[in-house]
Chains A and B, each alone.
Chain A
Amino acid sequence: DTAVSQTPKYLVTQMGNDKSIKCEQNLGHDTMYWYKQDSKKFLKIMFSYNNKELIINETVPNRFSPKSPDKAHLNLHINSLELGDSAVYFCASSRTGDVSYEQYFGPGTRLTVT
């Protein structure tokens, strides 16, 4: 069984469009994250939710809006897509309470904006 899943795996769209990426985890974790990996493979955290509450927002443009309907799901909606949004977006999850808890990553969503 997949622990952290994301849909879609690939997303190709044009500038100005709005798109969403979905993430689900079946690990029973209560914290979920979105990371962005750019074309140079650099990974940077975007958001983190704990029990549906936003706890980390790393100065991401407000065109990006995460939503967590429950603690097993964290979606990412992006408005007015720009070329610079092209990247691989990873969802992750972990337990809460100790920063030594590892994060489990999904397979990623490759977003290409043309």
Chain B
Amino acid sequence: AQSVTQLGSHVSVSEGALVLLRCNYSSSVPPYLFWYVQYPNQGLQLLLKYTSAATLVKGINGFEAEFKKSETSFHLTKPSAHMSDAAEYFCAVSPFSGGYNKLIFGAGTRLAVHP
């Protein structure tokens, strides 16, 4: 069964610092991987997704993620954190099951950004 592990339930960075949120997946076949962001009291918004077209994926708000098959990782990065990036971030994998997708989420990482 496919699963996702997010290392670090809380990450704190200073404004302007590099953001690195870690995600490792387990899958017997190349997966489809997603990063979603959840701002307080809101729904989830897609940041970016990996669908095997390119290993380095650029998303919204300056975020990007690199798919590394050898490390079974899909870490999310942003060169310079902004206060507005403070939110909960979820990595998710989509198992292939007859064309009907469901998302299996990691436990989430709360990003705090300090002035």
Contact = CB atoms under 8 A, between A and B. Distances in A.
Contacts of B107: 40-42
Contact of A103 (B41, B97, B103): B103
B94 interface: yes
B114 to A, nearest CB: 21
Interface residues of A, number: 31
A107 B42 contact: yes
A105 B88 CA distance: 15
B105 to A, nearest CB: 4
B51 interface: yes
A1 interface: no
A102 B34 contact: yes
Contacts of B110: 41
B43 interface: yes
Nearest to A41: B108
Interface in B72-102: 88, 90, 94-97, 99-102
Nearest to B31: A99
Contacts of A90: 43-44
B17 interface: no
B87 to A, nearest CB: 11
Nearest to B97: A99
A98 B99 contact: yes
B46 interface: yes
A50 B101 contact: no
A35 B101 CA distance: 13
Interface in A70-114: 90, 92, 94, 96-108
A44 B105 contact: yes
Interface of B: 32, 34, 36, 38, 41-46, 49, 51, 88, 90, 94-97, 99-105, 107-108, 110
Given A97-B99, A100-B49, 4 more contacts: A40-B107, A41-B38, A43-B105, A108-B42
25 contacts: A33-B102, A41-B38, A41-B108, A41-B110, A43-B90, A43-B103, A43-B108, A45-B103, A48-B100, A56-B102, A90-B43, A96-B99, A98-B99, A99-B32, A99-B95, A99-B96, A100-B94, A101-B101, A102-B46, A103-B101, A103-B103, A105-B36, A105-B44, A107-B43, A108-B42
